[in-house]
Amino acid sequence: METPSNPLMTVVDVPALAEIAHARGALLVVDNTFATPYLQQPLALGADIVVHSTTKYIGGHSDVVGGAVVLGSDDAAADLAEKVAFQQFAVGAVSGPLDAYLTTRGLKTLGVRMDRHCSNAQAVAEHLVGHPGVERVLYPGLPDHPGHELATRQMSGYGAWSPSSWPAGSPRRGRSPRPPGCSCSPSLWAASSP
């Protein structure tokens, strides 16, 4: 499961889901792409596997495509790590040297970028709440968001995305706000977006 989710920013209780999954002998896999490891650490919250799209916030510069599978360091994870390693070997799902370098470069500035993303998203969300043409703003940093308290408990920041919806009949209905000059980008509005 993805938390916070795209596009509605639904925040899921990772410890509660881990307890339910483990009671039934299942693994909990968390897609942490929107939160990044900087804002949320699902393994510490009870998840067994964490996946990230390194194309987005981790890479951060719109110049790499990739993903990561992260496992814990306990004995149970060791068996799972062997299975994942076999799949990597058999299928070839590994980054090339340049992609690995670009992802590592992005990790070096992840904290600084996420801090700025979060403060900007909070400001945009607060501005849009007061906009007469905006029907609702879905951002966990807003106190009236249904996941606000949960996000406060399990995340160190609320993320960088604040989708909004416009009233019926609006030419913007069904479209997310975009910064001027930006179009959809694999890195979520990276500076180099066209």
CATH code for position 65: 3.40.640.10
Whether residue 184 has pLDDT greater than 60: no
Supply the pLDDT for residue 132.
85
Residue 126 within a domain: no
Return the structure tokens found at 142. Answer: 């807003």
Residue 121 within a domain: no
Residue 116 within a domain: no
Pairing of strands 67-71, 136-137: unpaired
Burial class (CB in 10 A: 0-12, 13-18, 19+), 70: middle
Residue 92 within a domain: yes
Residue 145 within a domain: no
Residue 103 within a domain: yes
What are the distances in angstroms from CA 89 to CA 50, 80, 94, 174? Answer: 20, 14, 8, 42
Residue 178 within a domain: no
CB atoms within 10 A of CB 110: 18
**122-178-194-102 Cα dihedral, nearest 10 degrees:** 30
Please, what's the b/e burial string for 90-109 (b: 16 or more CB within 10 A of its CB; e: otherwise)?
A: eeeeebeeebeebbeebbee
Residue 93 within a domain: yes
- Structural domain span for residue 53: 14-108
pLDDT (average), residues 102-128: 95
Closest CA to 4 of 185, 135, 148: 148
> pLDDT confidence of 102, banded at 50, 70, 90?
very high
pLDDT (average), residues 113-127: 94
Cβ atoms of 14 and 45 within 8 Å: the answer is yes
d(CA 163, CA 129): 11
Question: For 65-98, what is each residue's pLDDT tens digit?
Answer: 999 999 988 877 888 999 888 988 899 888 899 9
Whether residue 185 has pLDDT greater than 50: no
pLDDT (average), residues 112-122: 96
Sheet holding 29-31, edge to edge: 29-31, 49-53, 67-71
Supply the pLDDT for residue 6.
86
Cβ atoms of 158 and 121 within 8 Å: the answer is yes
Count of domains for the chain = 1
